[in-house]
Amino acid sequence: MDWTWYLFGFNGRINRAKYWLAGLVILCLMLAFVWLAYLTLMIDFVAHAMGTAHGKGKVSFGFGIDDVFLVFDPAAWRALSLAKLPLVLVKAGGLAMFFWMYLATSIKRLHDRDRSGWWLVPFVVAPHLFNHFSDDLPGGYFMMAAGAIMFVLMIWGFIELYCLRGTKWTNTYGPDPLGKEQIRQRSDRARLRATTAWSQDSEIEIVPHKASPPPL
């Protein structure tokens, strides 16, 4: 298997099993980066013990899609200090790589469902944006309705990405990754022709006899 295309490419299709495997690979890489971030924090702790000035900002070890939205949150930037810069750089590098891998595998999985990659906007981006900034939004019935819609979209996206089988035929984005190829989904008319027995009478055309004029 071409791991470069599998984890970083945006073209083609992958099935459910490979999408679950990609999630496991990303999780293992996240754990490796957590250890790297932990070592960076130990260096920062030693610098603090030697009297280096620190700010009050905190940087978590976690890697998740909510961390992507922290980039657009001004409060997160105001809480950082120069002493946290090594840890921030390590986390930013890992976050960029994990986000790219998640986008690449999710888009290929949507292709397997014969859907465009833009379906990630209602399935993933909109619900997480709403959840991240929900504390800053006004309450009321409108927000309750919006929260219910976002929950439905998130469940729908989970079912599409993780549970449903891809198309069995060659769709817009490529052939079936399972190899069980079917050219196209047959229409009802084509299915009726394939299951209806051939009638010889329908192919026979009876031409009436035309007599020639009698000889003189």
The CA-based angle 43-49-51, given to 5 degrees, is 110
pLDDT, residue 83, reads: 56
pLDDT, residue 189, reads: 61
- Determine the Cα–Cα distance for residues 188 and 12; give it in Å rounded to an integer: 28
Q: Which two tokens stand for residue 69?
A: 């939205």
pLDDT, residue 139, reads: 72
pTM above 0.85, yes or no: no
pLDDT, residue 140, reads: 75
pLDDT, residue 134, reads: 77
- The 10s digit of each residue's pLDDT in 133-188 is 777 777 778 888 888 999 999 999 999 999 999 998 899 999 999 886 655 555 55
Beta pairing partners, 169: 182
State which residues of the chain have pLDDT below 50. Answer: 51-59, 61, 194, 202-203
**What's the chain's length in residues?**
216
Specify the long-range contacts of residues 117-124, CB closer than 8 Å, at least 24 apart: 117/10, 119/157, 119/160, 120/157, 122/153, 122/157, 123/153, 123/154, 123/156, 123/157, 123/160, 123/161, 124/65, 124/154, 124/157
pLDDT, residue 157, reads: 95
Please, are residues 95 and 82 in contact by the beta-carbon 8 Å criterion? no
